[in-house]
Structure 1
Amino acid sequence: MTPHDFLADQFQGHRPRLQAVAYRMLGSLSEAEDAVQEAWLRLARSDARDIDNLGGWLTTVVGRVCLDMLRARRSRREESLEERLPDPVISHADATDPEREVLLVDSVGLALLVVLESLTPAERLAFVLHDMFGMPFEQIAPIVDRTPTAAKKLASRARLRVRGATPSPDPDLSSQRRVVDAFLAAARDGDLAALVSVLNPDVTLRADGGTLTGGMQVVRGAAAVAGRLATFQRMATSATTHPALVNGLAGLVNTIDDELISVMSFTVSDGRIATIDILSDPDRLAQLDLTHLEP
């Protein structure tokens, strides 16, 4: 084995963690892959003999790349992910795909990723690297050009904004699934009372249909969400619904004639649905790789 091959083999061992870091930072699977690939290119150009902790070095590089990407989004005034749903990570409803398991640690649902998008790039990096991956502030500080104390304050501000902004999902997946099944049954039957009964009074619905529908639409409150009953009923009666895990939480993959039309993620908290996230943008759905779901 050549030194280059040995280095590549070591890098592959760290790749899942690096992808998880980048996905939480960017909310985009394709951009996360680009960030990880950039880390490999930088490693390949470096003298690995000078690297004492390869995992820490790679995480730092990925963090810097992601930070630059987030800042570039803002400086170019591109359509931000505050205006669209992050990319969903979809796996079998009855089993976790081992290759995707690291992406789903702590069930980082779409609702939490949406909140992370509201943070500044530096706050997001400090929060993700420290609170989600346990990196000490002494290592985070140089990435954001701050002192360790200032980096700690960044993470603290982010934590305050995240805390309470997203409901904690019920830990039992089978309980989550029962609530989602009740939602689906109410939708199919057009039963308004049954639908309201499974919704948290403060439920939030986010529906991202892409540019054709004017971007992401947000509806809040059980009455307003239940007011979409006719839309839910059309989906439930015209589409074939497939139970799935979406970012580690109970969800649905909906198809018509084997064509993917939407992905739905539910945050079930205290036995009721607290958030519903629906991705129906055909351009983004076409980019999803669901071959791992095939029997």
Structure 2
Amino acid sequence: MDSAAIDRFEASRGRLASLAYRLLGSAADAEDAVQDAFLRWQAADRERIEVPEAWLTKVVTNLCLDRLRSAQARHERAVGDWLPEPLLQGDPMLGPVDTFEQRESVSLAVLVLMERLSPVERAAYVLREAFSYPHAEIAGILDITESASQQHVHRARRRVAAERRGGGEVDPAAARRIVEEFLAAAMSGRTERLVAMLTADATAVSDGAGLARRLLRYTTRERIASYVRAGFRPTAAKRRLAGGSPALHFALVNGSPAVVAVVGVRVVGAVVLDVGDGKVVSLRGIAAVDRLARLGAAWRRYEPGAPMVDAW
């Protein structure tokens, strides 16, 4: 393959990776899908491809649909073992974030909600909301009619809107204040301060640092507050597990306010908050090593500023 063909693919790599991440919710799987697309591009009769960008978009979309439909993916999602892989603000895989719809489509909350859509609905929704594809092009990518594309997007929008709690724009200054208040409440040992920060229907999910067989879920404010208070209580065992005494930083993760725990330059955990009307609607505690791989790599290139807590 000549350098021009390689350059043509590389010019689309970032957009393709962002598309694949939104469809799969996993940076590692997204990178695999893009690499598979490169192999197909390498083997293709490129002289017969009229619009390379459209061809590559279709290939990546269908590779992602194959993964979503696979037996392993269906099993993982069915038994509740799946969480989106978090990405640090500024990660190019987050892709276009110029509009509210684009930012919303890559939040952890919406990535989780999209799990309830069919693979084709999810693809149509992402192509339309995040990448502004016209329905005629979505129809060509998914091999459906233009009318079917409109119906899939309409159904997906309706389901996401009906089940989406919270959300909305949170500017960085407000996001930092929320995290500071949350962290102060979590470390105070007083659950009533945490309860006051949570909406009446708040939820929490934790991967148990990868030690639990399934995700841990909490569905009342009191249970969430107890989980958070226990999680932020320093112990020697937790420090051994983390490999040291973490510093706690504020960061934006998938556009949402988050607490990131760091030992040296190594990310050992993140708590991502979904906020609505100044209260926490949901939170996700992520500490499994494989889920933090890309965020950790990005952190090593990041300049976070002073931590909110120097040594936990």
TM-score with structure 1 setting the length: 0.86
Q: Which moved more, 1:263-272 or 1:79-88?
A: 79-88
Which of these residues, 100, 103, 106, is aligned with residue 103 of structure 2?
A: 106
1:102-140: per-residue Cα shift (whole Å, max 9, x none)?
265515211111111121111111111122211222222
How many residues align? The count is 287
Structure-1 residue corresponding to 2:41: 43
Q: Aligned partners of 1:207 and 1:135: how far apart in 2? A: 35
Structure-2 residue corresponding to 1:63: 61
1:192-227: per-residue Cα shift (whole Å, max 9, x none)?
232222222221211112663122122223233123
Q: Aligned partners of 2:32 and 2:301: how far apart in 1? A: 21
Structure 1: runs of 5+ lacking an equivalent:
none
Structure-2 residue corresponding to 1:277: 284
The answer as to whether partners of 1:173 and 1:249 remain within 8 angstroms in 2 is no
Structure 1 residues 253 and 293, CA, compared in 2 at 3 Å: closer, same or farther?
same
Structure-1 residue corresponding to 2:300: 291
Structure 2: runs of 5+ lacking an equivalent:
240-244, 305-312
TM-score with structure 2 setting the length: 0.82
Alignment of 1:115-126 (within 5 A): 115-126=113-124
Which of these residues, 250, 260, 273, is aligned with residue 253 of structure 1?
A: 260
The answer as to whether partners of 1:170 and 1:270 remain within 8 angstroms in 2 is no
Q: Aligned partners of 1:205 and 1:235: how far apart in 2? A: 20
Runs of 4+ that moved beyond 4 A = 235-238, 256-259
Alignment of 1:1-295 (within 5 A): 4-73=2-71, 77-80=74-77, 82-91=80-89, 96=90, 99-100=92-93, 102=95, 105-107=102-104, 108-166=106-164, 167-209=166-208, 212-234=211-233, 239-256=246-263, 259-285=266-292, 288-289=296-297, 290-293=299-302
Q: Aligned partners of 1:235 and 1:144: how far apart in 2? A: 50
Q: Aligned partners of 1:120 and 1:202: how far apart in 2? A: 26
The answer as to whether partners of 1:176 and 1:271 remain within 8 angstroms in 2 is no
Q: Aligned partners of 2:32 and 2:203: how far apart in 1? A: 32
Q: CA deviation at 1:48?
A: 2.8
Q: CA deviation at 1:28?
A: 0.8
Q: Secondary structure of 1:227's partner? A: helix
Q: Aligned partners of 1:260 and 1:9: how far apart in 2? A: 34
The answer as to whether partners of 1:39 and 1:58 remain within 8 angstroms in 2 is yes
Q: Aligned partners of 2:215 and 2:55: how far apart in 1? A: 37
Q: Aligned partners of 2:65 and 2:300: how far apart in 1? A: 31
In the alignment, residue 199 of structure 2 is paired with which amino acid? N
In the alignment, residue 150 of structure 1 is paired with which amino acid? A
Q: Aligned partners of 2:54 and 2:303: how far apart in 1? A: 36
The answer as to whether partners of 1:169 and 1:267 remain within 8 angstroms in 2 is no
Q: CA deviation at 1:255?
A: 3.2
The answer as to whether partners of 1:246 and 1:264 remain within 8 angstroms in 2 is no
Structure 1 residues 210 and 185, CA, compared in 2 at 3 Å: closer, same or farther?
closer
